[in-house]
Amino acid sequence: MGYRHIEVTPNDTGFGAGIAGLDLSKPLPAETLAEVKRAWADHAVVWFPGQPLSLEQLEDFTEAIGPFGHDPFIKPMKEHPHVLELRREPDEKATNFGAGWHSDWSFQETPPAATILHAEIIPPVGGDTLYADCVRAYDALSDRMKKLLSGLNAIHSAILPYSKKGVYAQEKEKRAMEIITSDDAEKTQTHPLVRTHPVTGRKALYVSPVYTIGIEGMSGEESQWLLGGLYKHMTKPEFVYRHKWQKDMLTIWDNRCTLHFADGGYDGHLRVMHRTTVAGEKPV
């Protein structure tokens, strides 16, 4: 599909694409913004190199994509309630934030459609983000498996990472980021295990090991047996793109059809990213 106002360079698989020819510090004309949104829908993960942005400019660009989402369990930046600073100091020993396959805030009734991440300080080694293409993972399933999964609802919750007995509550090492553990994390929300994208109409697997705790109508053992097989399938190398960051790069990914994993490997180095989310819709 051709673009008149932006330069789009997709990965060989079509999953993930770089976008050039824009200055995101200024409002985008309507036709240009429409092409950015189309490229994002087509490729699920898109990135814009060389975009030095203030926090206000990041907020303005986010609102051009859509209204802000709600980000629970992490304290936002002072005077910027919709911006999270993902910061890890050189001397931190805690596991890097986001080190587990997930789709952001899938435990919400209306999880965010997009996550936007802007690179402020990039370490000289490590810090890649891995993305899994849940559309191609679904397409690769047999017709018999697709039929089995059709109509199943997965149970999502923040209990494992963010409850008062969760992973972050039990941490011994200090973090630069302020994570808020809460009883609210024990709440559950069901979503279709196979989700239909509201723009492309394509189906994607919508479960993750961080936020999916079971399948409605199945025992815990049955749920984990089925989910474990799906997780192994979804994160096969042929479905995964490893994203390497550059300073001032901005990346948008689609939580409705991808999983992501924050890789480490940069102990001893400072890493600073600024994150916003764009509100989504109830999964169907």
Q: Does the annotation count 104 as an active-site position?
A: yes
Nearest to 163 by CA among 187, 198, 196: 187
Residue reference for tokens 């849940």: 134
The one catalytic residue among 82, 87, 156, 275: 275
The one catalytic residue among 71, 82, 87, 104: 104
Rounded Cα distance, 258 and 132, in Å: 5
Residue 94 one-letter amino acid: A
Rounded Cα distance, 136 and 37, in Å: 20
Q: Does the annotation count 102 as an active-site position?
A: yes
Secondary structure (3-state) at 195: strand
Q: Which two tokens stand for residue 143?
A: 């017709």
The one catalytic residue among 102, 118, 271, 274: 102
Residue 151 one-letter amino acid: G
Residue reference for tokens 């079971």: 214
Secondary structure (3-state) at 11: coil
The one catalytic residue among 191, 260, 271, 274: 260
Secondary structure (3-state) at 263: coil
Residue reference for tokens 């553990």: 181
* Active site residues per annotation: 102, 104, 260, 275
